[in-house]
Chain A
Amino acid sequence: MRDLQPSLNQTQRVRLQSALRQLHSLPSSSSSLLYSVAVAVAVAVADPIHVNHEDNILKGHGTLDCDGEVVATLCGVVERVNKLVYVHALQARYKPEVGDIIVGRVIEIAPKRWRLEINFSQVAVLMLSSMNLPDGIQRRRTAVDELNMRSIFEENDVICAEVRGFQHDGSLHLQARSQKYGKLERGQLLTVPAYLVKRRKKHFHHLEQYGVDLIIGCNGFIWVGEHVEAGENVGMLVEDQKKTSIAEEESGSFTPLETRKHICRIANAVRLLSALGFTLTVEAIVDTAEASLASNIEINDMLGAKLFVQTVEREVQRRASMVRKKG
């Protein structure tokens, strides 16, 4: 549990301790249920790993051959696949793969490309040719297009894109050709540890009952915002967008209050789940938001003690029912 440490009273502390103890005893993921014969071995740095030295064991990531013994160099769980032994780190940095949906922030505009910060060790690159032009025509990018890059994306803009591939030096190449990718406005960006986001089939979620768009980036950047139809703002250049936004502000028409309440509730649910260290899935986030509505907890109280303990207890029940279904 990071950052969030709500002040718990005595009963809440007791409930939390018992719920955490139950969570530790229950198996956490379905995969470990399948391989329930092999118990997950947790190792810390410099712990020895038991291997049968006669087999030609391949020493994978996170291991080191030290005086004939195989020793772990990471804190994590030992995984064995045929002859390969490696340590799977539990709290690792974001590890990108081709096809990942990413939410990033533009930090620099360079010749014919934008550089984005994506919570990775290196900066990701979005080439001008990997981006649809405002007028939508497929054509060769000219020097005028290059000069007008700032009219498409500016510095500090939040962008949704997909990983296209890796360069030879390990940095990422992104592409944003489809209608669903592009600039994200009217919402807030949240940062969570990247290992809490697992790869799924869908990362774009339109929560209809709330009218909220939820984009769970694989790099740990989560966007919660007002729902925007795909392709609505694609044709608009930045200056036109700025003019409409200033007109909107003066007339006082911001995001409607109801939608804003839902956005804040979902955002607080994400903050709570990331503070507890639970995997972020749409179901978990929506469940937490609905539970807070059902318990009549105010939006700003969502990060308080009551919902904190309630969420842990609900997770215990969920995992217990999963174990019962499988077993």
Chain B
Amino acid sequence: MVGLSEGERRFIRGGIAQDLRSDGRRRLQYCPISVQTGVIPQANGSARVRLGATDVIATIKAELGKPSLLQPDKGKVSIHVDCSPTAAPMFEGRGGEELSSELSLALERCLLGGKSGAGAAIDLSSLIVLDGKVCWDLYIDGLVISSDGNLLDTLAAAIKVALSNTGIPKVNIVYDGSPDDQPEVDVSDEEFLQFDTSGVPVVITLTKVGKHYIVDATAEEESQMSSAVSVSVNRNGQICGLIKRGGTGLDPSVILDMISVAKHVSKELISMLDSEIAAAEASDDES
């Protein structure tokens, strides 16, 4: 990211204070969202989401595996994010690893819920094929193609859309032998199990600059932030995850205020994403 002069920084801070950012948006306004589904046909589900200049692709791949011994009635989900060097020169080689692992961890916290699987966006029990023997392993991958701030929100939105586009093949157990052997399975090519993504939460990142919060910060505005709070909210207004970044300390009342602002903004984002998902599904059905 190129540096900013003192005059430019003051201009950005002044804009945020006066509720008119550099591209004319208000503080709590999102950039135009553009959503495409099914961009990677080899994956079980995929989506590409563009939020302003930030561009990410999320893919979901499902493979048959063995459930863990501690939770034999649940499938497994793992999330991994990769920052491509095309997004920024500093991501070349191993430069993007720190950011990638931070984003992966944040997404796992927001979308996967606790250790027991409670509160997860995806119902893990729906991924089981045969208790204790066969389950579906979901591998969720995010790829950042172009980075202009607000990566967490965009990745969470892309995962939500990709999940709506995912089809898990139906599995028939052919032969279930002794308890120790792996049963033979027949993976159907035609019947698919779709996910209901109305329960998947979205992530709203509120960046605090000066005394005000903004939503959907660009990379320039993020360079001016004192701290940022990312709140994961689902359709019922419940908080599914909370992450704070940035070195500046925050008063607890400020955090509570940011959470309520995030809940308010999330309604708009969820409805925007749902309408885009419906439009994408409609165009898929047509073609």
Contact = CB atoms under 8 A, between A and B. Distances in A.
Contact of B24 (A105, A187, A302): A302
Interface string B152-180: 00000000000000000000000000000
Interface residues of A, number: 41
Nearest to A155: B3
A11 interface: no
24 contacts: A3-B53, A5-B34, A5-B50, A154-B5, A154-B6, A155-B3, A156-B3, A156-B6, A157-B7, A183-B5, A185-B5, A186-B11, A249-B10, A249-B14, A254-B14, A254-B17, A260-B15, A260-B18, A264-B20, A264-B21, A264-B22, A265-B24, A268-B24, A298-B24
B26 interface: yes
Contact of B6 (A117, A185, A298, A304): A185
Given A105-B3, A264-B15, A264-B22, 18 more contacts: A5-B50, A105-B5, A154-B5, A156-B2, A156-B4, A156-B5, A157-B6, A183-B7, A188-B8, A189-B8, A225-B11, A241-B6, A249-B10, A249-B14, A260-B18, A264-B23, A300-B24, A300-B25
Q: Which of B2, B32, B34 has the most CB atoms of chain A within a 10 A radius of its CB?
A: B32
A28 interface: no
A35 B29 CA distance: 50
Size range of the chain B interface in the assembly: 20 to 34
Contacts of A156: 2-6
Q: Which of A183, A254, A301, A303 has the most CB atoms of chain B within a 10 A radius of its CB?
A: A254
A1 B241 CA distance: 39
Interface of B: 2-8, 10-11, 13-15, 17-18, 20-26, 29, 32, 34, 50, 53
Nearest to A238: B6
B24 A264 contact: yes
A257 B18 contact: yes
Contact of B20 (A117, A184, A189, A261): A261
Contacts of B13: 249, 254
Q: Which of A183, A300, A304 has the most CB atoms of chain B within a 10 A radius of its CB?
A: A300
Interface string A113-130: 000010000000000000
Interface string A60-72: 0000000000000
Given A188-B11, A260-B15, A268 B23 contact: yes
A257 B5 CA distance: 21
A303 B7 contact: no
Contacts of A184: 5, 7
Return the 7 tightest CB-CB contacts between A and B, nearest first: A185-B7, A299-B24, A254-B14, A156-B3, A300-B24, A264-B24, A300-B25
A299 B53 CA distance: 18
A302 B22 CA distance: 13
Contacts of A196: none
Given A156-B4, A158-B8, A254-B18, A7 B34 contact: yes
Interface of A: 3, 5-7, 105, 117, 154-158, 183-189, 225, 241-242, 245, 249, 252, 254-255, 257, 260-261, 264-265, 267-268, 271, 298-304
Contacts of B2: 105, 117, 156
A300 B7 contact: no
A282 to B, nearest CB: 20
A300 B14 contact: no
Nearest to B7: A185
Given A105-B5, A154-B6, A186-B11, A6 B20 contact: no
A302 B10 CA distance: 24
A258 to B, nearest CB: 10
B5 A187 contact: no
Contacts of B23: 264, 267-268, 271, 299-300, 303
Contacts of B17: 252, 254
Contact of B10 (A5, A183, A186, A268): A186
Contacts of A271: 23
Nearest to B2: A105
Contacts of B34: 5, 7
A92 B227 CA distance: 41
Contacts of B24: 264-265, 268, 298-302
Nearest to B35: A7
A264 B29 CA distance: 15
A257 B15 CA distance: 9
A183 B4 CA distance: 13
A272 B20 CA distance: 18
Contacts of A242: 6
Nearest to A105: B2
Nearest to B276: A7
Nearest to B53: A3
B14 A260 contact: yes
Contacts of B11: 185-188, 225, 254-255
A5 B21 CA distance: 21
B116 to A, nearest CB: 41
A31 B26 CA distance: 44
A256 to B, nearest CB: 9
Given A254-B14, A260-B15, A188 B26 contact: no
A298 B20 CA distance: 12
Contacts of B10: 185-186, 245, 249, 254
A275 to B, nearest CB: 11
Given A186-B10, A188-B22, A254-B10, A158 B5 contact: yes
Contacts of B32: 6-7, 303-304
A253 B14 CA distance: 9
